[in-house]
Chains A and B, each alone.
Chain A
């Protein structure tokens, strides 16, 4: 059985790997690329623990073949934080204790980010529908929903700031130039 050579982008980095034709993206990420954030819960697309995005679309990495992501852009939970700065969703999950065992958390974070990327001010009902493909067997869902609501608020506050931020960063650069 010959391997498939794949060139792709993962969290903004160019990545190449060789995988088996039937090998799923989840196994490629975990076993070949060393990104173990996405978890295997069910392996059949029911639990969402392996949620990642491919070309901006939320998918279960267990239901995508590694070979399919040739030339695509894959984003995983590892790409959410900006260096040491946690993404607001990650921060709010901690503050709201929106996790216990943590297996489902990376999937919830990626799915919640996919939601907020397309709808910055979702209702509780929209959040619950958007996260319906992610199962948590520890906390129940209330804390998770509250964390997503809080993160949406935080991101909305940030969104009103960039104009001011840009000005602030422009000035020193002008001086240095």
Chain B
């Protein structure tokens, strides 16, 4: 096994391509180094992307925000412009692990680890985030919800890696929020979770919405029916009930020691309702 720390995305792609899928990308390492220690992965090369300038920064662009793949979640929490525009995405990213983990973990790592319970992913999906994927054949932009194929599996091809995540610019009255259920106050994996992003139109009526659920299916699920239930409303009780019902219908969770199918299904709807209310308030509704 080799350790390489390239300084350009191109070099990183070349290193990954050469090993034909036997290379591993190292960003924060909070998942990779645990798997390495456990013997679950035996890469030929570890490609540390933290020396690549294009991946180190959060930048505000004309079309929104760009988050480099090597930016730690702690850094996201320290970026006041990002926090103001996308508070739900930042709060989701900041829920991952302890301060020690926050210093290292990244949202791209969280996405590529492909856990159904990843905290930052439902918030990113609700936010209509896109992943900028670079590979031997060039660059492509993929909606975040299309990156994960199933538990531990992504749709990235050999030699590809994610260079950055883009978030759209916020227009008018908009807000987002992320909530998860865990049996403790922190330092735990989501039993189920919900991310909601919405934009208000005239008179505080929801004009646009996206609702995403975590840990209730093999991948994070975008629930268009839940969004439809609240569009055109001011989040009255009936609209929220309809949204929760749509969320429940979209759930396909597993039964495990952390939660039963029934529990996860019901709580996903409850969390979506609560997250929608917070997002609405943040949007100035």
Contacts and interface: CB of A to CB of B under 8 A. Distances in A.
Contacts of B5: 67-68, 70
Interface residues of B, number: 26
B3 interface: yes
Contacts of A68: 5, 26, 29, 48, 50
Contact of B26 (A65, A70, A133): A65
Interface in A37-79: 43-45, 48, 51, 54, 57-60, 62-65, 67-68, 70
B99 A45 contact: no
Contact of A133 (B28, B74, B99): B99
Interface residues of A, number: 31
Contacts of B46: 21-22, 65
B186 A129 contact: yes
A113 to B, nearest CB: 12
Contacts of A65: 3, 26, 29, 33, 46, 48
A133 B187 contact: yes
Interface stretch (B100-108, B122-130, B218-226, B269-277): B100-108
Greatest chain B CB density within 10 A among A2, A22, A70, A130 is at: A22
B1 interface: yes
B34 interface: yes
B34 A67 contact: no
B97 A133 contact: yes
A104 interface: no
Interface in B1-59: 1-3, 5, 26, 28-30, 33-34, 36-37, 46, 48, 50
B58 to A, nearest CB: 16
Interface string B81-98: 000000000000000011
Contacts of B34: 44-45, 63
Contacts of A44: 34, 37
Contacts of A94: none
Query: Chain A interface mostly helix, strand, loop or mixed?
Result: mixed
A29 interface: no
A62 B34 CA distance: 9
A45 B29 CA distance: 10
Nearest to B32: A63
Interface string A1-19: 1101000000000000000
Contacts of A70: 5
Given A21-B3, A22-B46, A48 B100 contact: yes
Contact of B186 (A24, A115, A132): A132
A70 B51 CA distance: 11
Given A62-B33, A65-B48, A68-B5, 6 more contacts: A24-B37, A43-B37, A44-B34, A58-B99, A63-B30, A65-B3
5 contacts: A24-B37, A45-B97, A63-B33, A68-B48, A133-B100
Nearest 6 pairs between A and B by C-beta? A133-B98, A21-B3, A57-B103, A67-B3, A133-B100, A60-B100
Interface of B: 1-3, 5, 26, 28-30, 33-34, 36-37, 46, 48, 50, 72, 74, 97-101, 103-104, 186-187
